[in-house]
Structure 1
């Protein structure tokens, strides 16, 4: 998965309701920040090893890790969407 594909997946899950920033790294890892009007989420991972994410991370969380995990980026984004909609 490349950054453009990740952007397309965010749009497929959230539509135009969020802004996504995607950073790709040489090893294939991606880092995403998904920001809506009231909430945000960060997602980090690789298609081969899975995705970790945090919804509404605190400013002082830094690089302490994520509290949720998913096998695919789509699974992570759909869970984020569900939690924010609920």
Structure 2
């Protein structure tokens, strides 16, 4: 077999942390990252659609906010596709 081609990387800094505090603005970056890892809200697919879905004028005879009440037969199907559904 041939000898390995790569060498071990030297360690810089104190080695006790990830070293992020050594960079300007690192605390702000870490704060933004931590705020971005909040869990998703516990919504079903139909609840999400009622809150966030919009229908365009070219895609719908009734443009504007989507309402699950207009298609009640879709509610159970949508909710079965929700991440929290046990089925």
TM-score by length of 1: 0.21
The structure with the largest helix share of the pair is 2
Larger radius of gyration: 2
Structure with higher strand content: 1
TM-score by length of 2: 0.21
